[in-house]
Structure 1
């Protein structure tokens, strides 16, 4: 039963709201739509169910039922007698949208598919405190990547999408005048380092990554004409890092790991720093719970969802600022600052050696 609001409209009842929250059909309907490229096709003018079914090689009546649900979600809207148009929300699911969300929902992508399939293991993780990846896929996460090239390449693409906006922001919003050498620890295929070197011609850079990913980073540096200023080394951030860097950068790394391992990674960075160096950490900061709904609480909902993803996939955790201070202190580092970046909930934290 719905309740009346002060303006005379009706608001969903608690039962209706919880039912909408709990259904699995909505996330899988969105994934089906993205995998079939329905938002892109509608944006291109395929607005009628018949032509859409022909393009997607689907059953016309079944597709119509999916389109109706997408319209009820506000992703599509009725257009003419039988057609559908794309809403502002629906545009976010197009392949060319700058947010890059579609790639994370496309079930044709090995990383999106494998990540989604591990989510039902949440109950296992809550009961045991351990990641569910191995229970679902038969191997621990990092071993699964090493054994499956398609999965590893898809994972690299997803991580590149995560940091695509961070590099230009970082290049423009920090003072790099006194830095000479940046070491991007676990820096993926090198996109973030490329943005820094493009923005600051005096910088040199090194990516430290697993062997296959380091090769892809080397190829990117060559394509960008940066091979004389950028190198990619095969290695683990649990081992000694290349010494003497001015900045050691950890972007979307620490949340992959429980505290003990996060402290080890930070300590490796601290040990490698030159005397004036800094450690930059790009990660989400989990805020304390709030009883009032606001734009910030919506951002924190995304952080709490990512926190569960870290739990089921890797056994990692999204941390509060105080928790980052504590892991830094255990590694011999003090948290100097934490500033918001291009994405709500995502911060750049600067750590300096304890004196």
Structure 2
């Protein structure tokens, strides 16, 4: 069975949502207080470390430092030999990362994993290694460097810079597609346990997961509900060989894989249709096309489940506000949306928004039913 599916089923329990919200408010309040307390130029300089830290963590992911420390602490010379890197340069990288508790250092000088760097291991229950490989890549930095141009024009730069839209580029450059697919799988795995804790997927007899990737969420749902059936609907590049990859005891005859274009048609007969991290990739016009295609395959009693970030109305930091800029840079009109914007989009597409269920992850479950 796929490694993503194994990890998702064993994901650690998420803290209760009220506790996470309280911690976030306290953290954001303290950060805001610090920024107001120090001179403005010092606060701005402190903000500059965020980009450097991301690149340093990405370098650690690329070098495999967390994997090398998985069997226990190592002295700097030993770790440098294991990684085949320059010891002095490694010490400088680790000194920076240790200051943010990404790694730890014992009294005898040995480097060790922390709770943070455990998630950089490739075999961790919830691994973000592949996500950081994407965030630290030359291609990702290249396009974020064009943010000012995107703001000037209101449009993305992918076709202009690369000669084709992103998903076509990923098809034409398999090495890019592989990095992107692996990063999205790691993000999907991160959200599995919070989604399961917040929403009752067991109320449905069958689920069609549209754009379901490598199947981490749907497989986890099926394993928890033995009588349920599921279908992963993906583009041919991802769907090829996926059924065999996901074959495992208990899933035979219950999980199918189909390929196609969700702008044209999707499988019929599902009790629920799942769109996880799909709608935010598209403009309102394109999203309406997708939703109307889904609606055409749904029975009146079926339900639509959109799993995406719902942008909050507050002015505090939120992951969705960052990802909204990611959508501006890398998609043709994609964006994160508020609850009101989701409601309007669904209404124009033949749905009525039923409820929004927040989770301990940044995602929410937006449930809707056919309006006609």
TM-score bin, normalised by smaller chain: 0.7 to 0.9
Inter-partner Cα distance in structure 1 for 2:227 and 2:110 = 56
Q: Note if 1:35 corresponds to 2:62.
A: yes
Q: Deviations over 1:245-288 (max 9, x none)?
A: 22111011101111111111111112211121110111111101
Cα displacement (A) at 1:175: 5.4
- Segment of structure 1 superposing worse, 45-54 or 256-265: 45-54
Counterpart position of 1:6 = none
Whether the 8 Å CA contact 2:230–2:256 is kept in 1: the answer is yes
Q: Note if 1:352 corresponds to 2:369.
A: yes
Structure with the bigger RCO (C-alpha within 8 Å, sep 6+) is 2
Cα displacement (A) at 1:226: 3.2
Q: Which has the larger radius of gyration?
A: 1
- Selected match of 1:21 from 36, 41, 47: 47
Whether the 8 Å CA contact 1:207–1:217 is kept in 2: the answer is no
Whether the 8 Å CA contact 2:102–2:114 is kept in 1: the answer is yes
Counterpart position of 1:194 = 219
Counterpart position of 2:32 = none
Counterpart position of 1:313 = 330
| Superposed counterparts of 1:216-227, under 5 Å | 216-223=241-248, 226-227=251-252
| Superposed counterparts of 1:76-91, under 5 Å | 76-80=103-107, 82-91=109-118
Whether the 8 Å CA contact 1:171–1:199 is kept in 2: the answer is no
- Selected match of 2:210 from 171, 179, 185: 185
Inter-partner Cα distance in structure 2 for 1:261 and 1:212 = 21
Whether the 8 Å CA contact 2:103–2:117 is kept in 1: the answer is yes
Inter-partner Cα distance in structure 2 for 1:347 and 1:150 = 31
Question: How many residues are aligned here?
Answer: 333
Counterpart position of 1:120 = 145
Inter-partner Cα distance in structure 2 for 1:248 and 1:256 = 17
- Segment of structure 1 superposing worse, 64-73 or 308-317: 64-73
- Selected match of 1:233 from 217, 236, 258: 258
What SS does structure 1 have at the residue aligned with 2:241?
A: helix
Inter-partner Cα distance in structure 2 for 1:112 and 1:219 = 31
Compared with structure 1, are the counterparts of its residues 162 and 216 closer, same or farther at alpha carbon in structure 2 (3 Å cutoff)?
farther
Cα displacement (A) at 1:233: 1.8
Inter-partner Cα distance in structure 2 for 1:194 and 1:71 = 36
- Selected match of 1:331 from 329, 341, 349: 349
| Superposed counterparts of 1:228-307, under 5 Å | 228-290=253-315, 297-298=316-317, 300=318, 302-307=319-324
Cα displacement (A) at 1:81: 6.1
Compared with structure 1, are the counterparts of its residues 201 and 35 closer, same or farther at alpha carbon in structure 2 (3 Å cutoff)?
same
Compared with structure 1, are the counterparts of its residues 175 and 46 closer, same or farther at alpha carbon in structure 2 (3 Å cutoff)?
closer
What SS does structure 2 have at the residue aligned with 1:196?
A: helix
- Segment of structure 1 superposing worse, 163-172 or 324-333: 163-172
Inter-partner Cα distance in structure 2 for 1:221 and 1:53 = 37
Whether the 8 Å CA contact 1:182–1:247 is kept in 2: the answer is yes
Q: Deviations over 1:72-117 (max 9, x none)?
A: 333344533654444444444343444322221136x9x9554344
Cα displacement (A) at 1:167: 5.0
- Selected match of 1:99 from 120, 126, 129: 126
Cα displacement (A) at 1:313: 1.4
Cα displacement (A) at 1:326: 0.8
Inter-partner Cα distance in structure 2 for 1:346 and 1:203 = 23
Q: Deviations over 1:168-214 (max 9, x none)?
A: 6656732544x333221111223322223323333332222111211
Inter-partner Cα distance in structure 1 for 2:131 and 2:201 = 33
Inter-partner Cα distance in structure 1 for 2:226 and 2:108 = 58
What SS does structure 2 have at the residue aligned with 1:222?
A: coil
- List alignment gaps of at least 5 residues for structure 2: 1-36
Inter-partner Cα distance in structure 1 for 2:112 and 2:39 = 29
Counterpart position of 1:51 = 78
Whether the 8 Å CA contact 2:280–2:336 is kept in 1: the answer is yes
What SS does structure 2 have at the residue aligned with 1:68?
A: helix
Whether the 8 Å CA contact 1:281–1:349 is kept in 2: the answer is yes
Counterpart position of 1:8 = none
